[in-house]
Structure 1
Amino acid sequence: MDRETLMSEESELALDDAFNILSNSRRRYILYYLYTRTEPATIDELAGQIAAWENEIPIEDLDDTARRRVYVSLYQTHLPKLDDFDIADYDRDDGTVTLTERAGEIVRYLPVEEEETRDFTWYYVGLSAVAVVLLGAVAINLVPSAIAAVVIALGLLALVGFQFVTRRSSDDRDLLELEDLE
């Protein structure tokens, strides 16, 4: 077998493995939960959160049966499988789970909710309304034109600066999250 054929088969296996791992909703929940955290999670935490998601109720409203059912499947099946594929580091003794560096290969296939971005349209509409009022005041000689121009320019500069900083911090956060997974 030549090198290109071997590499192609390895890529297909990796993709097959990724789809195998992601074929179960509980494993997807595990990956999503761990991806959104910075510290290791316990099996108890995972079981509670996943049971809550599956039953569409708050964690506080879970009964022991639902939590235990998820716990057993995580302990016996899903966490060992993620550990076998080196996607998560599952420490049975401590009962903790963390994502490994290899998780980035799998997590990219997860549907991650996009962070809601701020809509600046109404801010610009408000600034435009202020500008119209100021220009009307200039027209009837209530406000000197130089003051109106400075207020409008400073308002626009402040709004653009605020929008830039808001988007920049969001982009930086997204970039850091991607770098952590690679």
Structure 2
Amino acid sequence: MSKESTELALDDAFNILSNSRRRYILYYLYTRDEPATIEELASQIAAWENDIPVDDLDDTARRRVYVSLYQTHLPKLDDFGIAVYDRDEGTVRLTEKAEEIVRYLPVERRETPQFTWYYVVLTAGAVIALLGTAFGLPPFAVVPGTLIALAFAIALLALVVYQYALTRRSEDDDLMKLEDLE
């Protein structure tokens, strides 16, 4: 790749990143890792810009952002090949080329544990313990059913608390990263 084409790509990247709404679009789509509707984007960006929850937005703030996304920012991302903007469907998704731009943002793709498997294993263990207790199978015949139930209840509570703590920490991290995008 020649120096001139690299500079042009870098200029394009900075052109794209020069606007906070485009940075918000990239951040939102990149951290979600799935397409979004223009309505979702407009609502979330308006909430971030006004520093309020999405539920507290008024239609004027939402509409103002929607119009700028629809007319300016999404077509620009589409023109540069960073996103696929389907006007008919009203959806937007990032392309692989977005990786070239997102690296300039304070964004990390988050690897979240799949808690579904933890719950499946815990449930399977509880069912096995229940059946073992009901049929008097060792070692469940020796331990009272109440203690087994208590152990699984404590394990379930610990898992729920752990999942909640991870979710809260991830939300706090997202807020700090959003401040860096402004």
Structure 1 counterpart of 2:19, one-letter code: N
Deviations 1:23-50 (A, max 9, x none): 0000000000000112210000000000
Deviations 1:93-133 (A, max 9, x none): 00000000000000000112797xxxxxxxxxxxxxxxxxx
Distance 1:85 1:51 in 2: 24
Structure 2 counterpart of 1:16, one-letter code: D
| Equivalent runs, 1:1-150 vs 2, <5 Å | 7-112=2-107
Structure 2 counterpart of 1:70, one-letter code: V
- If you compute each CA radius of gyration, which structure gives the higher value, 1 or 2? 1
Structure 2 counterpart of 1:64, one-letter code: D
Paired residues, what number? Answer: 110
Higher RCO (CA < 8 A, seq sep 6+): 2
- Give TM-score, length-normalised by structure 1: 0.58
Moved over 4 A (4+): none
Distance 1:83 1:61 in 2: 30
Distance 2:91 2:109 in 1: 28
Deviations 1:120-175 (A, max 9, x none): xxxxxxxxxxxxxxxxxxxxxxxxxxxxxxxxxxxxxxxxxxxxxxxxxxxxxxxx
Distance 2:75 2:109 in 1: 30
Match in the other structure for 1:167:
none
Q: Quick check: 2:31–2:109 contact (8 Å CA) kept in 1?
A: no
Cα offset for 1:17? 0.2
Other structure's SS at 1:18 match = helix
- Give TM-score, length-normalised by structure 2: 0.58
Other structure's SS at 1:51 match = helix
**Structure 1: where are the runs of 5+ without partners?**
116-182
